[in-house]
Amino acid sequence: MLPLTPIPDKADAVFLTCIGRIQDAALRNRLAAVTNEIVRHDLEFGNAGTASTFFKLPSHNAVGTNVTKAEMISVYDHQMVPAASHGRVYYDKIMALAKNRRCPLCGFGQVWTLDHYMPKTHYPGLAVCPRNLVPSCSDCNKAKLSSVPSCVSKQTLNPYYDNVDEVTWLHGKFENHTPVVVEFSVQKPRSWTATTASRVRHHFKTFNLARVYSSEAASELGEIKEELTNLLNTCGASAVETHLAEVARRRTNAQRNSWRAALYRALATSTWFCHTGCRG
């Protein structure tokens, strides 16, 4: 999971820009009249993010008394997503938060869309709230669907509020036989509460990260087999271990809980792999 800093634009500014070109004046005025409600929903969302209590946010079917869920979803679908729409500038700004277009939810895929952290079908007041919109790859967007958290440990991580990359929690392990199949898992660091560990495991499970990472690790092992075999044949197992440990150090410094960092940490500390398994 990669932390993000939200765009500085306020929810009311984004909302008013989105609705600014709606042709139907009566609809536009009715939407503009609930701007304070949009601000309230955004404020409650921000407080929930700080307190890690998204699950306590009450779902709703309307914004104020005069704007329906369908109308709010239409504001997002027709006034923020289309390339020529008035609110698209904010859509693009949020998408651009993802460094190198890397999906912050899996730390792996390429961002393709915006995910509503709290789904717009249950929280229409947050449909165009910038900090409820997370750049995401298509797989992560599909995996989460419209699920609503029921308790704190069933909340996926929110890149704007949750930074869990300060300690190492992603680990890889494998049996001593070839082909090497690496299993990735979340292991609770001492500094975490049990709730944090449960939440990270829930995030890991929701986005199918064990399967995705294992598949990527298999490809990586195929690509480095020849290089490691040559190193083993010419310089010996200790050279293989030193090389893998150096790669693990660099990968960990770059992104502590990336699948590559966890993979190389596991490989470098396996005597079997350095002596034998690296031949594939």
Q: Measured from the CB atom, is 18 or 137 closer to Zn ion?
A: 137
List of residues 6+ apart from 143 with CB closer than 8 A: 206, 207, 208
140 binds Zn ion per the rule CB under 5 A: yes
- Within the chain, residue ranges assigned H as helices are 11-19, 25-32, 35-51, 69-79, 88-95, 138-144, 194-206, 209-235, 237-254, 259-268, 271-275
Count residues contacting Zn ion (CB under 5 A)?
6
- Binding segment (CB under 5 A) for Zn ion, from list 60-68, 134-142, 153-161, 170-178: 134-142
Q: Measured from the CB atom, is 75 or 212 closer to Zn ion?
A: 212
The three-class DSSP label of residue 118 is: coil
Q: Measured from the CB atom, is 141 or 270 closer to Zn ion?
A: 141
Residue 173 CB, shortest distance to Zn ion, in Å, is 23
Mask: binding to Zn ion, 79-118, rule CB under 5 A, as x and -? ------------------------x-xx--x---------
* Residues 179, 254 contacting (CB under 8 angstroms): no
Residue 109 CB, shortest distance to Zn ion, in Å, is 4
List of residues 6+ apart from 204 with CB closer than 8 A: 185, 186, 210
137 binds Zn ion per the rule CB under 5 A: yes
4 binds Zn ion per the rule CB under 5 A: no
Which chain residues interact with Zn ion by CB under 5 A?
A: 103, 105-106, 109, 137, 140
